[in-house]
């Protein structure tokens, strides 16, 4: 387990390098099994760095990739063939003849022959020394979907609907995702001498626990790795969060009690027993492996009271929120601000704060083509009826032609992408107007890393950091609100946070951390130094657990309704969002359930009963 994805990538890359050097020292080629997806990208970047800076050679390396969509041309932006040459092969010294990739263009009648030849090539190479894997939400490895047999080999496979939905964001719709693929089989993977399976992000936590701690099950192919003699799971802390040793360590070993762990344990005990915190008894503690916590405090009442008041002190109504301060809200996409913190945003406005909302990316890839044509129709009608410049007709025609010419899964033409950007910017302004702000409070940063036209983004670069830094220097905020999601390490939310962190580090190399009141110099915008207090919010998918939250902000029924109305302003994301994930509910429905669910937990724990609550963590 690693604190961050970078440390994980470096460790796995070192294991790969050790495999190469060991095999070469034995006078043979190292044979690597490689995976695609966002998680291994960091490993490939580190291997490229080691090749360039440390002389790691791939001249005596042979590679076999796990899988490929079917059908899939090798030059498609979605092809794993293209992915591997982009992220690794084109930047190292591996001979092309030693690279083996499954062919997504093989005719249906030759797929079985192609798969058999692939297996024969692996055997001829001496078998795989080191196999790199990711894990899907269903527990699939490669494209070995639930139900894959222990003896399965490289073959054609029908993709599970959950797998296709997970891939939909990269293809701009689920309909564009191929229904079939070719994949190494479970037996092929288990035949590797060493296996490394990577998982990052909180969205993988449940399946990591199932794969590591659950029974071996054909419905969860990753559980077969429990039978491998040298298989290692590499996780960041978010992906490991549900493992028993992390979530409830008192169930497996003695623990060193900290205030944070005590709060987690008491909340867990209250939820497990169905009792409010102040009603937990000594018997509850001893019967649920928490005798050492009880012994630490002497009696149940003492620890109950300590945790109860700790949680109670985290509740911050409007009166306890910032007043007359300068605040920057960083929103990775044009709707994350109102989805995640629409309630507190309204309170901050009411408290007389100067609030600026910085939209970090255009979010244009998350707009359907039919939304563009709908807006064009309105504009065309206005142009005709008001006899506006005929040049608009040519522009509208060009946009329509570009949409008509686009093939499923292809990136948008620049004209279309720009129109989608404008749509999302207008929705963002309408959203913040609902909570009391106006267009002059919006800043559209349009960071360059997002300009790829696809779901896969460029690494955060100096230009991205410079744009964020200029905004911070211009606004000199007392507080900065930042998306703190811990999902995809190369996802937009996490990359935006990286840009903010780097900008703050440049401004303050030794920035103090923790909760602090704004220093006196904040009263003067021309003061020489400023250190904003960073509040992390969560996105549309998860909320901060109560045990981790620094502040819990209650929302009245009216405030929650206003927040939902602000979310409604993002019409391009309503009814059927382009990237819904595995949750079919609309964003407003997820928000309502999440915020009322947090309030419901506090009620069950015996604290005050609120309608809804937003949670924040001070970084």
Instruction: Give the whole-angstrom CA distance, residue 277 versus residue 39.
Output: 40
| Cα–Cα distance list, 267 to 39, 256, 283, 543, 549 (Å) | 32, 17, 16, 16, 13
CA 416 to mean position of chain CA atoms: 26
Report residue 608 as tokens: 């005050």
CA distance 120 to 459: 38
463 counts as catalytic: no
**Interatomic CA distance for residues 383 and 378, integer angstroms:** 9
Backbone angles phi, psi at 215, to 5 degrees: -70, 150
* Dist. CA 222–CA 200, nearest whole Å: 15
Distance of CA 505 to the CA centre of its chain: 23
Provide the 3-class DSSP secondary structure of residue 330.
strand
List of residues 6+ apart from 343 with CB closer than 8 A? 553, 555, 559, 560, 562, 563, 595, 612, 614
237 backbone dihedrals φ, ψ, rounded to 5°? -65, -30
Task: Kindly state the tokens that stand for 37.
Answer: 């997806």
The CA distance from 559 to 536, in Å, is: 20
Spatial contact of 486 and 201, defined as CB atoms under 8 Å apart: yes
CA angle 458, 461, 464 (to 5 degrees): 100
Q: How many residues does the chain have?
A: 619
Contact 500, 480 (CB under 8 A): yes
CA 71 to centroid of chain Cα atoms: 28
Please identify which residue in the block is written with the tokens 């390396």.
61
What is the Cα–Cα distance from 142 to 133, expressed in whole angstroms? 7
Beta bridge partners of 612: 555
What's the token pair of residue 166?
Answer: 């997970």
Query: What token pair was written down for 194?
Result: 């060493």
β-bridge pairing 231-235 and 194-199: parallel
Longest dimension (CA), the chain: 83
Q: Which of the following is catalytic: 119, 145, 262, 380? A: 145
- 571: which 2 tokens? 């019409």
Contact 106, 170 (CB under 8 A): no
What distance in Å separates the CA atoms of residue 205 and residue 241, rounded to the nearest whole number? 6
At 483 the three-state DSSP class reads strand
Structure tokens given for 313: 């002190």
Distance of CA 147 to the CA centre of its chain: 27
Contact between 303 and 266 (Cβ < 8 Å): yes
d(CA 208, CA 135): 8
Q: Do residues 321 and 350 make contact, with C-beta atoms less than 8 angstroms apart?
A: no
Q: Is 422 exposed, middle or buried (0-12, 13-18, 19+ CB in 10 A)?
A: middle
Looking at the annotation, which residues are catalytic?
145
């Amino acid at each position: 387990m690693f604190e961050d994805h970078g440390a994980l990538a470096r460790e796995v890359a070192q294991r790969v390098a050790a495999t190469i050097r060991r095999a070469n020292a034995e006078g043979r080629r190292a044979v690597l099994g490689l995976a695609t997806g966002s998680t291994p990208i960091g490993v490939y970047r580190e291997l490229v760095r080691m090749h360039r800076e440390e002389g790691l050679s791939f001249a005596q390396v042979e590679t076999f990739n796990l899988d490929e969509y079917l059908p899939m041309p090798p030059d498609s932006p979605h092809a794993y063939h293209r992915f591997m040459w982009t992220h690794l092969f084109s930047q190292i010294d591996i001979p092309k003849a030693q690279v083996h990739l499954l062919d997504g263009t093989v005719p249906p009648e030759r797929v079985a022959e192609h798969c058999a030849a692939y297996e024969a090539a692996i055997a001829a190479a001496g078998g795989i020394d080191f196999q790199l894997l990711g894990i899907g939400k269903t527990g699939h490895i490669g494209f070995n979907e639930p139900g894959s047999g222990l003896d399965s080999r490289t073959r054609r496979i029908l993709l599970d609907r959950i797998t296709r939905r997970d891939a939909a964001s990269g293809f701009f719709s689920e309909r564009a995702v191929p229904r079939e693929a070719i994949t190494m089989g479970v037996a092929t993977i288990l035949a590797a001498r060493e296996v490394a399976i990577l998982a990052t992000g909180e969205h993988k936590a449940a399946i990591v626990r199932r794969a590591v701690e659950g029974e071996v099950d054909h419905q969860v192919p990753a559980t077969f790795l429990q039978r491998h003699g040298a298989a290692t799971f590499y996780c960041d802390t978010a992906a490991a969060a549900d493992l028993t040793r992390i979530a409830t360590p008192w169930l497996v070993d003695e623990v060193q009690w900290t205030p944070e762990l005590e709060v987690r344990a008491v909340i867990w005990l209250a939820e497990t027993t169905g009792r409010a915190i102040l009603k937990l008894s000594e018997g509850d503690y001893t019967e649920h492996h928490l005798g050492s916590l009880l012994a630490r405090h002497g009696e149940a009442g003492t620890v109950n009271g300590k945790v109860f008041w700790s949680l109670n002190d985290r509740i911050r109504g409007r009166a306890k929120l910032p007043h007359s301060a300068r605040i920057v809200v960083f929103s990775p996409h044009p709707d994350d601000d109102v989805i995640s913190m629409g309630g507190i945003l309204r309170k901050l406005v009411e408290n007389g704060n100067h609030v600026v909302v910085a939209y970090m990316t255009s979010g244009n890839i998350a707009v359907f083509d039919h939304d563009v044509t709908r807006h064009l129709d309105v504009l065309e009608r206005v142009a005709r009826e008001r006899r506006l410049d005929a040049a608009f007709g040519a522009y509208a025609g060009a946009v329509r032609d570009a949409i008509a010419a686009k093939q499923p899964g292809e990136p948008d033409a620049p004209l279309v992408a720009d129109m989608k950007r404008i749509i999302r910017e207008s929705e963002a302004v309408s959203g913040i107007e609902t909570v009391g702000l106006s267009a002059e409070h919006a800043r559209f940063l349009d960071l360059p890393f997002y300009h790829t036209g696809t779901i896969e983004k460029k690494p955060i670069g100096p230009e991205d950091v410079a744009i964020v830094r200029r905004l911070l220097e211009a606004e000199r905020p007392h507080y900065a609100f930042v998306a703190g999601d811990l999902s995809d390490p190369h996802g937009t939310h996490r990359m935006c946070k990286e840009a903010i962190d780097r900008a703050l580090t440049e401004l303050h190399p030794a920035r103090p951390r923790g909760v602090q009141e704004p220093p006196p110099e904040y009263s003067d915008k021309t003061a020489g130094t400023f250190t904003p207090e960073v509040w992390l919010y969560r996105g549309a998918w998860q909320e901060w657990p109560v045990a981790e939250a620094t502040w819990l902000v209650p929302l009245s029924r009216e405030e929650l309704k206003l927040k939902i109305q602000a979310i409604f302003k993002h019409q391009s994301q309503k009814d059927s969002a382009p990237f819904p994930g595995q949750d079919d509910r609309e964003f407003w429905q997820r928000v309502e359930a999440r915020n009322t669910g947090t309030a419901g937990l506090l009620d069950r724990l015996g604290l005050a009963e609120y309608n809804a609550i937003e949670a924040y963590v001070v970084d």
